[in-house]
Amino acid sequence: MSDSAAFRTIGRGLVLPLGLLVLWEFASHSGLVNRQFLPPLEHVGVSFWEELRSGELTQSLAASLRRDLLGFALGSGIGILVGLLLGLSRIADRIFTTWFNGLKQIALLAWIPLISLWFGFDETAKIVFIALAAAIPVILNLVEGVHATSEKLVEVGDVFRFNRLQFVVYVYFPAALPSLLTGLHLALIYAWLATIGAEYFMAAGPGIGGLIIAGRERFDMDLVMLGILVVGTVGFVIDRGAAWLERRLIPWRKE
Q: What are the residue boundaries of the structural domains of the chain, listed by start? A: 39-249
Element containing residue 170 per DSSP (H, E): none
Residue 6 has pLDDT above 80, yes or no: no
Residue 113 burial (10 A CB sphere; 0-12, 13-18, 19+): exposed
Q: What is the pLDDT of residue 34?
A: 72
Alpha-helical runs (H) found in 148-204: 151-159, 164-167, 173-201
Residue 131 has pLDDT above 90, yes or no: yes
Higher pLDDT, 213 or 255: 213
In this structure, the number of other CB atoms found within 10 A of the CB of residue 194 comes to 28
30-84 pLDDT, tens digit per residue, is 777 777 777 888 888 888 898 889 888 999 999 999 999 999 999 999 999 998 8
- The mean per-residue pLDDT over the stretch 234-240 comes to 91
Q: What is the pLDDT of residue 27?
A: 77
Contact status, residue 181 vs residue 79, Cβ threshold 8 Å: no
For residue 126, which of 59, 199, 187 has the smallest C-alpha distance? 199
Dist. CA 62–CA 208, nearest whole Å: 9
149-192 pLDDT, tens digit per residue, is 888 888 887 888 888 888 888 888 888 888 999 999 999 999 99
Q: What is the pLDDT of residue 86?
A: 86
**93 vs 15, 131, 176, 214, 251, CA distance in Å?**
44, 22, 17, 46, 31
Q: What is the pLDDT of residue 1?
A: 52
C-alpha torsion 210→68→48→21, nearest 10: -110
Residue 10 has pLDDT above 90, yes or no: no
Q: Going by C-beta distance under 8 Å and a sequence separation of 6 or more, which residues neighbour residue 67?
A: 123, 126, 127, 130, 195, 198, 199, 207
Residue 2 has pLDDT above 60, yes or no: no
Q: What is the pLDDT of residue 200?
A: 84
Dist. CA 29–CA 31, nearest whole Å: 6
Q: What is the pLDDT of residue 73?
A: 96
On the CB side of 188, CA atoms within 13 Å amount to: 17
Rg (CA), the chain: 22
Mean pLDDT of the chain: 84
- The mean per-residue pLDDT over the stretch 126-154 comes to 89
Dist. CA 172–CA 201, nearest whole Å: 39
Dist. CA 54–CA 62, nearest whole Å: 14
Residues 244, 247, 249: CA angle, nearest 5 degrees: 110
Contact status, residue 75 vs residue 132, Cβ threshold 8 Å: yes
Q: What is the pLDDT of residue 19?
A: 78
Amino acid at position 101, single letter: N
Length in residues, the chain = 255
CATH architecture of 39-249: Orthogonal Bundle (1.10)
Higher pLDDT, 138 or 118: 138
Q: What is the pLDDT of residue 11?
A: 64
- The mean per-residue pLDDT over the stretch 208-228 comes to 88
Q: What is the pLDDT of residue 204?
A: 65
Q: What is the pLDDT of residue 108?
A: 78
Dist. CA 144–CA 10, nearest whole Å: 29
pLDDT above 90: percentage of residues in the chain: 26
